[in-house]
Each structure stands twice: as C-alpha cells, then as structure tokens.
C-alpha cells in the first residue's frame, strides 16, 4: 500500500503576503528567484536580513567582518546570548538563525571586510545590494561599484533615535542621484556613532523596514513605486525630512565623471578606525593557521582569555583585545591609535 505524502505544513508560509495586492503570486515567485546581498549584519543588517528571509527572498549573501558581543543583543535581532559567549561571527550567526526559521532561503555567510579586491566576486551575483554598514568608507565603495555596474542599492543608517534610507538606481529612465551626488565627501569633524550617541532598537527596525519594503518593490519589478528621496526620521523628536534624489547631479564625480576612486582602492586606507574604541587592520592579505597561532599564543604568559573557533581567534593582552580572522585581518580593541594597533599586530600575529 503506497505511503501517503506528508503534508507540507508550511505551504501557506507566504499566503498573507500574497494576499497583499502589491505582491501577489507573481511577485512572490519573483522574490523567490531574487538574490540580495546584505553588507553589514549588525543592527540594521540583522533586521533587514530577517525581513528579507521571512518575505521569501530566495538567496541571501550576508557579508560582515565582525563578531557577536553582549552589547549587540539590545538591538541585533538575529543573535542570542550563546552567540555572544562564543564570539560567533555575525554573518554565520545570522545564517544559522535564518536557516532555522526558513528552510526555503539559501543563505551564504561571508566573514570578510568588503574591499575593492573582493567586491566584484561577492556582489556580482546579486540583483540588489542593501547597505547596512556603519561607515562612509564602505558606502562610497558600494556606490562606486553600483554606478559602474548599473546595479541598484539601498542606503540605510541608524543612530540614536534617528533612521535614514535612500534608494539608488544608477541606470535607466528612472535613474536617481547616487550617494556622491548628495555627499561628495564624507562628513568631517565629530560624527555620532552608536558608541557615542547610543541607539534605539526601534530606530534600527524603522530603517530596516523602509529599506526592505523598497527592496521588495524593486525585486517585484515595480520601479515606479520606489521612493525618490533621502528620507530621515527622528523617532524621539518626531522630526522628519526628505531630500529629493530624483535627478543626478550633472557635476557628480562618480555618476557623471565616472571616476571610481574608492573602487580603484586609491581612497582606501589599510588601517581604519571602526568604532568601539577599535582599530581594524586589513593590510595583510594572507592565510593564517588559527590553530597553530593558538598554540603559539598559549605559551605566552601575558596572553589571557585565549579562545578560538573555525572562524576566528580572540585573546586579550593587557588592556587590548585582539580578534584575528583566517584571511589575516584583525580587530584590535582598546585603542584608536593605529601605531599601537600595528605594533600589537606585528608582535603577536606577524608583520
């Protein structure tokens, strides 16, 4: 006697979304075939990745250079206390959580810093890129790449109670201004970050919600519904503003002049401040045997809190914590002095 098929209890997973006229069955199929890259899987990126996966986007590439810490748990929705205790890389922790709640989505975790040398490989397959980073250095790199390739991307930012998003369409009849049209240069002087101004989880989720809704419009082929402005909102003071982005700046160095300095690498330092009283060193592109390094470090009395997994090695030396990744990149916490960071790197990891 033939065994009856097991009913798929998740067959109506997207039924409520399909009922929404803006998506429908056709739109749901398009979402299932879409490939989206999320650059930065911190607060905004974790929220955006979760929303994309729950909406049925078929393939997600999650790119992040960092690891989960206890201070992340207040706002980074895909992580838990076990992830923080294990110092799990954020991209991998997010992949595991998404896989647990939606088996239909293919998730690729990339534990790396997005740089000119890998951006084409990592973002090439994506139909759309979501910027969920925390620095203009990477945003300008994304903008250069997107304009050069004619690939849409969506900027998002959140700090304090403030959230902002902007959709960039580099080509076509509905072409918008690019990031460099509005911001020819990065902000100077004191710039607020979540380490200095704090952050509300609600601001993060607002930015991600608007960003992913714009993404759904693009992925379902409804380009004319895309918002053509830089939208910002302060949830605490209720202040709201919009800057029109419907027309590119004819004098823009990037989209008009086709000058891609950030993509060429000429505008990118190899040692950068990355918040949290930290310095990132990514000038050494060489594989590191983490297991062998752990053995070497274990013999040194000044090293404490030494631990590792397949994706990173972390240890403490005095007032500094060093996190080393297999590609040679490292985060040095406890200083903003690049000379100190370079010295610690050379001493314990090698020049």
CB 223 within 8 A of CB 172: yes
Q: Report how far residue 6's alpha carbon sits from residue 343's, in angstroms, rounded to the nearest whole number.
A: 61
DSSP string, 212-233: HHHHHHHHTT-GGGS--EEEEE
As given in the structure block, the two tokens for residue 199 are: 């952050």
Strands 128-131 and 106-111: unpaired
Contact 131, 40 (CB under 8 A): yes
| C-beta pairs of 268-275 under 8 Å, 24+ apart in sequence | 268/115, 268/116, 268/137, 268/141, 269/137, 271/338, 271/341, 271/342, 272/135, 272/137, 273/336, 273/338, 274/134, 274/135, 274/331, 275/134, 275/135, 275/193, 275/194, 275/195
Q: Which residues have a catalytic role annotated? A: 194
Provide CB contacts within 8 A for 140, sequence distance 6+.
Answer: 179, 180, 186, 262, 267
At a CB cut-off of 8 Å and minimum separation 6, what does 322 contact? Answer: 314, 315, 316, 330, 331, 332, 333, 344, 345, 348, 349
**In the 8-state DSSP scheme, what is residue 238?**
-
CB neighbours (10 Å) of residue 243?
A: 12
């Amino acid at each position: 006697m033939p065994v009856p098929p097991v009913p798929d209890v998740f067959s109506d997973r997207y039924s409520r979304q399909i009922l929404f006229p803006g998506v429908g069955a056709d739109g749901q199929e398009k979402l299932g075939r879409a490939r989206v890259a999320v650059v930065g899987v911190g607060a905004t990126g974790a929220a955006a990745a979760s929303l994309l996966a729950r909406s049925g986007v078929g393939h997600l590439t999650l790119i992040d250079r960092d690891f989960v810490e206890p201070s992340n748990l207040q706002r980074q929705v895909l992580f838990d206390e076990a992830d923080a205790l294990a110092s799990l890389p954020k991209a991998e922790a997010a992949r595991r959580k998404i896989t647990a709640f939606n088996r239909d989505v293919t998730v690729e975790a990339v534990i790396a810093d997005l740089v000119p040398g890998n951006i084409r490989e990592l973002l090439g397959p994506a139909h759309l890129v979501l910027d969920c980073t925390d620095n203009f250095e990477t945003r300008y790199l994304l903008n250069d790449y997107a304009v050069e390739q004619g690939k849409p991307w969506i900027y998002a930012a959140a700090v304090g109670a403030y959230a902002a998003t902007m959709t960039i369409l580099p080509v076509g009849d509905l072409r918008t201004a690019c990031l460099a049209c509005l911001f020819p240069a990065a902000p100077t002087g004191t710039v607020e970050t979540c380490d200095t101004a704090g952050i509300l989880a609600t601001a993060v989720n607002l930015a991600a919600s608007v960003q992913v809704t714009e993404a759904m419009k693009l992925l379902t082929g409804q380009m004319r519904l895309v918002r053509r402005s830089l939208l910002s909102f302060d949830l605490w003071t209720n202040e709201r503003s919009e800057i029109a982005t419907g027309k590119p700046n004819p004098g823009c160095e990037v989209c008009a002049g086709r000058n891609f300095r950030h993509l060429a690498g000429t505008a990118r330092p190899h040692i950068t401040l990355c918040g949290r009283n930290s310095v990132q060193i990514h000038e050494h592109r060489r594989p590191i045997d983490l297991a062998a390094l752990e053995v070497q470090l274990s013999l040194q009395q000044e090293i404490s809190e030494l631990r590792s997994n397949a994706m990173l090695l972390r240890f403490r030396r005095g007032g500094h914590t060093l996190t080393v990744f297999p590609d040679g990149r490292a985060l040095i916490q406890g200083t903003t002095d690049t000379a100190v960071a370079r010295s610690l790197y050379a001493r314990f990891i090698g020049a």
